[in-house]
Structure 1
Amino acid sequence: MGHLLQVQGDAPHTLFIGCSDARVVPELITASEPGELFVIRTAGNIVPAYAPGSDGVAASIEYAVAVLGVSDIVLCGHSGCGAMTALAESHDLSGAPAVAQWLQHADAARARTAARGDVRALVRQNVLAQLANLATHPSVAGALAEGTLTLHGWVYDIASGGVEALGGHAKVTVPAA
C-alpha cells in the first residue's frame, strides 16, 4: 500500500502532533530539517480517540504510521496553552461552540487534574490523555504491538525553549534559532 500513496522523497521519521498555537513551531523545537517531521497541529494538541468514519486527524495519523512508516510519534503540549487555559479556568465558550465541542476530547485530562485553574498540570495531563487516545488508532496500536513505533509525550516551555519529556526525567533545551 505504501508505494501507491507515498510521494517519492517524502520519508519523515517522526510524526509530531502539536498545538495550533503559532508559537509552537515543531521544526524549531526539534531542530529538524524540512522533510524530517510529518506534522499535525490541532487546538490543544488534541487527538480524538479512534472512531469509524471520516476524520482528518485519524487519516493523517494512519498515513504517517501505515504509509510513511514513522518510527516515533511525539505528542507535544506547551506552556500557556490557550485551549488548556480555557478548560482550567472554565471560560465561557458559548460564542465558539465548535471549540467547546473539540475541547471535550480533553475531558479525561481535566478529570485527572486535581486543582481547578492549574493550567500547568492540565497541560501535562492532556499530553498523557491524548497519548492514550492516540493508542486507540488501529495503525498505532498495530505498530506498537509489533514494536516498530515509540510514543513520546513532551511539554514545551515557550519562555525557556526547554522540552520536558513526560514519563521520564530527560529534559532537553533546544537552542534558539
Structure 2
Amino acid sequence: MKALIDGFLKFQKEVFPQRTGLFKHLATTQHPGTLFITCSDSRVVPELLTQQEPGELFVIRNAGNIVPSYSPYPGGVSATVEYAVAVLGVTDIVICGHSDCGAMTAIAKCKCMDHLPAVSGWLQHSESAKVINESRHHVDDAAKLSSMVRENVIAQLANIQTHPSVRLAQEKGKLNLHGWVYDIETGSIDALCEDKRTFKALAEHPDTCAVHAKSDASAV
C-alpha cells in the first residue's frame, strides 16, 4: 500500500496542480468517445496503451474481457454497456484481448477449476470460442493459446451485439465495433477485420474495423 499512497501524494502535489483545468471540467461532465472492454490483468492499462486522457475512455475490465450475451437477468457488464451506449453515446466499442491471458490459458489447457467455482462459471461465456478453438489443429500450446485469445475476442463481439442498446445504435449507424489483441512483450496490437476471421497489425492498417456503423442508416 505504501507505493500506492506515495503515488497518490505525488499525483496530488505534482500532477494535479498542472491539470487543474482538465479536472475542473471533468468534475461535472464526461463525454468519452469509446467504450474499452479489456481484461483485469495488471499488465494491460487501456489509457497507457492508447495514450488517452482522463475522460476519454469508458472502461470495463474483467477476467477474460468477457461480455455476456444479453439476458433477462443482466449484470454489471450489461448495465455498463447500456449506459455507455444509450446515455453517454459512445461511437466506438473496443474489445481487447491480450497475450499470456490467464483466463484464456485456463480454457485452452482445460485446467481444473473446481477450487474456483466463480471463475469457472464466468468463463462459460467463452464456451463458443473454446469449441471453435478445440476443433482446430495447433502446432503447440503457445499457438493454441494465441488462437484462443483471438477466438474469444470474436465471440465477445458476437455477444455484445445481442445487447439491445448496441443493436439500436448499430441500426442508427452510430456505433463501430473493434476487436483487438494486445501483445504485452512487443507493444503491438492486431485488429480484427470485417471478415471476422483475419487479424491485421493495427500499426500498418489503422482503419481496420470489425463492424462498421451503417453508413446508409437513417436517424431514428
Q: Establish whether residue 169 from structure 1 lines up as the match of residue 200 from structure 2.
A: yes
Q: Aligned-pair distance for 1:170?
A: 4.2
- Aligned match for 1:29, one of 42, 49, 60: 49
Name the amino acid aligned to 1:169.
K
Name the amino acid aligned to 1:166.
L
When normalised by structure 1's length, the TM-score is 0.90
Instruction: Work out the CA distance in 2 between the residues paired with 1:50 and 1:83.
Output: 21
Q: Aligned-pair distance for 1:111?
A: 1.0
2:63 is aligned to 43
- Aligned match for 1:141, one of 134, 155, 167: 167
Q: Aligned-pair distance for 1:112?
A: 1.1
1:55 is aligned to 75
What does the per-residue CA deviation read over 1:30-82, in whole Å, with 9 as the maximum and x for residues that have no partner?
Answer: 11111100000010001000001241000000000000000000000000000
Which secondary structure state, in structure 1, belongs to the residue aligned with residue 31 of structure 2?
coil
- Aligned match for 1:19, one of 15, 39, 58: 39
Which structure has the higher relative contact order (CA within 8 Å, separation 6+)? 1
Q: Which runs of 5+ in 2 are unaligned?
A: 1-26, 194-198, 205-220
What does the per-residue CA deviation read over 1:109-162, in whole Å, with 9 as the maximum and x for residues that have no partner?
Answer: 011112474100000000000000000000001001111000000000000111
**What number of residue pairs does the alignment pair up?**
167
Which secondary structure state, in structure 2, belongs to the residue aligned with residue 172 of structure 1?
coil
- Equivalent pair of 2:188/2:201 in contact (CA under 8 Å): no
Which secondary structure state, in structure 1, belongs to the residue aligned with residue 168 of structure 2?
helix
- What RMSD, in angstroms, separates the aligned Cα atoms of the two structures? 1.5
When normalised by structure 2's length, the TM-score is 0.73
1:4 is aligned to none
| Structure number with higher strand proportion | 1
Q: Which runs of 5+ in 1 are unaligned?
A: 1-6
